[in-house]
Amino acid sequence: MVKYYRVSIIGSGNVAWHLSRALEDAGHFVLEVYSRDIKNARALTSRLYDAEAVESLDFSESLAEIFILAVSDSAIQEISSEIILPDNVIIAHTSGAMPISTLGYAPTEHLGVFYPLQTFSKVKEVNWKVIPILIEAESSEASKALNALGESISSKVLAMSSIKRQAIHLSAVFASNFTTYILSLSEEILMERKLDFDLLKPLIAETINKCFDMSPFAALTGPARRGDMETLNTHIQMLDNNKSQKEVYKVLSQQILDTYFDDFKK
């Protein structure tokens, strides 16, 4: 028998924005949304069925069974030490980088982590069924409930220790955040020359697909991978007017040379 949980969301950012809606779509009940700025909480509850926007961390009268802290990493410990909870409830944060011990000051023994391994933006919908959700818990009650909550929205729910989750988060920063930054530099180079970034979209899509079909190490091509110093030097000269682009190009090219060609190692 499927159990539907009563949930309260602490936070109103990108993760809270998508997770609260996904939980309601799966049949759970979002009772409250907390934000330091009540306007943000109200904006989020306007997307939900019957949730209440609140600006106090006193949840002593709440009927929620699970409290999810979808807040910045730096806010988790402070909020967990200030929040007032009903007896025997579960509290979990959604961070990939912070250990479960960050919740140590929360007034409950049922601590957990509910980390969706995805990048979120309010303007872009996501497919929750394919998003891995990494679970950690310090009690059997929390483990059972968080796994059930995860399985109601995702087809891939995994138990993961804080140390392994932090390694995955570090890897995700390289895969997502750094990749996005590099693409922003690519777009910048074209915009400066009044060229259309859309020209690169088939190349970007094929690059990502190759990394999925092969390994990223095997999929890499380009002048640094070939050891083509003439092209590398030409590109570096083209970037003389933009120090940040030039520095990134030089550092990454040198890393590729060092990785694939022993002769180029310093």
Indicate the pLDDT class of residue 265, thresholds 50, 70 and 90: low
Q: Are residues 180 and 154 located together in one domain of the fold? A: no
DSSP lists the bridge partners of residue 52 as 32
Q: Are residues 96 and 196 located together in one domain of the fold? A: no
**Domain-located, residue 55:** yes
Query: How is the beta sheet containing 66-69 ordered, strand by strand?
Result: 52-54, 29-34, 6-10, 66-69, 90-93, 110-116, 133-137, 157-159
Kindly report, residue by residue over 36-81, the tens digit of the pLDDT: 999 999 999 999 999 999 999 999 999 999 999 999 999 999 999 9
DSSP state letter for 58: B
Query: Taking the model in full, what pTM does it have?
Result: 0.94
Structure tokens at 114: 């509910």
Q: Are residues 49 and 118 located together in one domain of the fold? A: yes
**Domain-located, residue 1:** no
Task: Select from 106, 134, 160 the last residue of a domain.
Answer: 160
Q: Are residues 51 and 139 located together in one domain of the fold? A: yes
pLDDT at 264 over 80: no
**CATH classification at residue 71:** 3.40.50.720
- Structural domain including 63 reads 6-160
pLDDT at 1 over 90: no
Q: Are residues 61 and 191 located together in one domain of the fold? A: no
Kindly report, residue by residue over 139-170, the tens digit of the pLDDT: 999 999 999 999 999 999 999 999 999 999 99
Domain count, the chain: 2
Average pLDDT value over all residues in the chain:
96
Kindly report, residue by residue over 232-254, the tens digit of the pLDDT: 999 999 999 999 999 999 999 99
